[in-house]
Structures are given as structure tokens and as C-alpha cells.
Amino acid sequence: MITQQSTKIEQIHQDIRAEHKTHVEWKRRNRTQTIEYMIHGIFLLLGLITVGCVLLITVYLIISGIPAIRQIGLLDFLFGKEWASTASEPKYGILPFILTSVYGTAGAILIGVPVGFMTAVYLSKLASPKVKSVMQSAVSLLAGIPSVVYGLVGMLVLVPGIRKIFNVPDGASLLAAIIVLAIMILPSIIKMSITALDAVPKEYEDASLALGATPVETYFKVSVPAAKSGIAAAVVLGVGRAIGEAMVVMMVAGNVPNMPNSLFQSVRFLTTAVSSEMSYSSGLQRQALFSIALVLFMFIMLTNAMLNFFLKRERE
């Protein structure tokens, strides 16, 4: 009888311990879920803040930019070939700025993307560890140089060089802006492309080499296609920097509202049109500058949307 009572007491103790353990596990699980919900809420809040900032900027630019477009006229504003905001009879045509931004960005991409892509392939797949380390440090240093330093070097070295080599009156031109922008987008393209190429599984390359492909064929026909999403993201980032740069192009492009009929002509970009006149503008001139900012914003949005559309279509 004593044995039976001891067994029952032991069973009761085991049940109490099991219930306590279950209660502790439930509390731990409940605490973990609470923390997860809090982190999820924080991330959601941060995402909503980001979206809200974009919407706020969009609404502000629309509210500030539409009045000038209404007063000037949409066609006259977008397709007018003359900008004379301080003349006795002001003219607000921004077609020279739009074409200059398009040509400048396209030229920078045509030069910068192939150079950056080839450099990334070399550093990721062909360069020795020592060379890769040195060159990556140089690329990181290039990325950290302020825009005004690029502009200063362009003014002191590139602009006089263009004037002497091509025997033109002034080296501050669209060509100078294209070259400087191409150099400025190189770090973004190189670093992100290297990261994408290094993430390709080595088994892909080993399988290609085992089938008889040469190393160069493997890199360009296996590794690059496998990393194309990361490389494409690098190109998009480079395009965004080329479009939005203001200080450099103001210093090396001449900052004159001319039609870009030649690579050696002094021109003005959309970004520099806003930054160069905003400090002393007023009235309709100031509203027109906000309208230019709205056009620039839409231009960047459309460019990114087109690039993402083509990249998504290619993946499918």
C-alpha cells in the first residue's frame, strides 16, 4: 500500500513537472511570437515611411510644378527650344535640357557599362587575389570621392585636354560631362557586378569546364547569365546616378542652355537647370524650376520602370 502511494505521489510530481515544462515552453513560444510581431510591425512601419516619403515628394512636385506648366503651356514647355528665364520677355522651353540629359546619360552608359562589366569579370574570375584586393580597394576609394572633386579634376584636366586635342574654343562640353559621368558610375557597376559574380555556385563552372568549355567561355556563357540579375541591378543603379548628378555636370559641361547639336557644345542638364537658378528665382521662374524637377522625377521613374520591365521580361 505504501508502494502504491509512493507511485501515485511520484506520478503527481511528474505531472506537475510536465505541466510546468509545458507552461514554460508556452510562455517562451508566446514571447518569441510577440517579438516576431513587433519586428514585423517595425519593418512594416519603415516600409510605409519609405513609400510615404516617395508619395509626399511626388505630390509636392506635382502641386508645385503644374501651375507653371498650365501658364506656359505643356507643348511650349516640353518642346520649346529656348530658355531665357531672366529676359525681358521670358521663355521657358526645356527641350535642350531634356535632350542633353538623355544624350549625356546614354553616352555615360555606353562607355561606363562595358568598362565596368569587363572589369568586374576580370576581378571576379581572372585576377589573382593580390591584384583583386588592390583593385577593389582602388574602386572603393573611387566610390568615396565627392562629386565636387570629380568636377574639379574635370575642370583642371579634362576640359583643357579636350580643348587642345580637338582644337575647339571651349572644352567644357557634353563630351566632358559624358566622360566624367562614365567614370563616376564605374564603382557602382563594378562592385555590385563582382558581388553577383562571386555568388554564382562554383559547381556551375566546374560542370561547364568538365564538358570541355574553356575558362573564358565558362565565365561569359555560364557565370554571367547566372549573375545577370545582380549585374542588371548594378546597371540600373549606374543609370540613376548618371541621371541625377548635378554638381559635376555643372562644372564641366559649360552650364549654357544650348541645344546639344554637338559633343563639343556647352550644354545644361535638367539637374543643373534647377540647381543653378533656384537660389535667385522667384515667381513664374521659380515655378518653372519646380516643373523641371517634376519632369526630371518622371524621367527617372520612367527609365527605371522601362529597365525593370525589360529585365523582368528577359527572366520570363
Same-domain status, 57 and 197: no
pLDDT 10s digits, 101-114: 999 999 999 999 99
8 Å CB contact between 178 and 104: yes
8 Å CB contact between 154 and 178: no
Q: Which residues of the chain register pLDDT less than 70?
A: 1-27, 311-316
State residue 299's pLDDT score: 85
8 Å CB contact between 235 and 185: no
- Is 90 domain-assigned? no
- Is 141 domain-assigned? yes
Same-domain status, 47 and 126: no
Same-domain status, 101 and 22: no
Same-domain status, 31 and 150: no
- Is 89 domain-assigned? no
Cα dihedral 204, 209, 212, 217 sign: positive
The DSSP letter of residue 212 is T
Same-domain status, 58 and 100: no
Same-domain status, 199 and 243: yes
Same-domain status, 6 and 54: yes
pLDDT 10s digits, 112-138: 999 999 999 999 988 888 998 999 899
8 Å CB contact between 197 and 233: no
Cell (9 digits) for 118: 569587363
Domain span at 33: 2-72
Q: What is the CATH number of the domain that holds 237?
A: 1.10.3720.10
Q: Which of 40, 72, 104 is the last residue of a domain?
A: 72
Strand partners for 91: 84
- Is 82 domain-assigned? no
Same-domain status, 61 and 100: no
- Is 202 domain-assigned? yes
State residue 63's pLDDT score: 92
State residue 266's pLDDT score: 93
Same-domain status, 68 and 100: no
Cell (9 digits) for 194: 563582382
Same-domain status, 10 and 123: no
- Is 81 domain-assigned? no
Same-domain status, 101 and 47: no
98, 260, 269: which is closest to 180 by C-alpha?
269
Same-domain status, 127 and 233: yes
Q: Give the count of domains, the chain.
A: 2
8 Å CB contact between 239 and 109: yes
DSSP readout, 24-66?
Answer: HHHHHHHHHHHHHHHHHHHHHHHHHHHHHHHHHHHHHHHHHHH
In this prediction the pTM is 0.83
Residue 226 CA to residue 33 CA, distance in Å, equals 37
- Is 291 domain-assigned? yes
- Is 193 domain-assigned? yes
| Distances in whole angstroms, Cα of residue 40 to Cα of each of 10, 31, 44, 51, 124 | 44, 14, 6, 16, 36
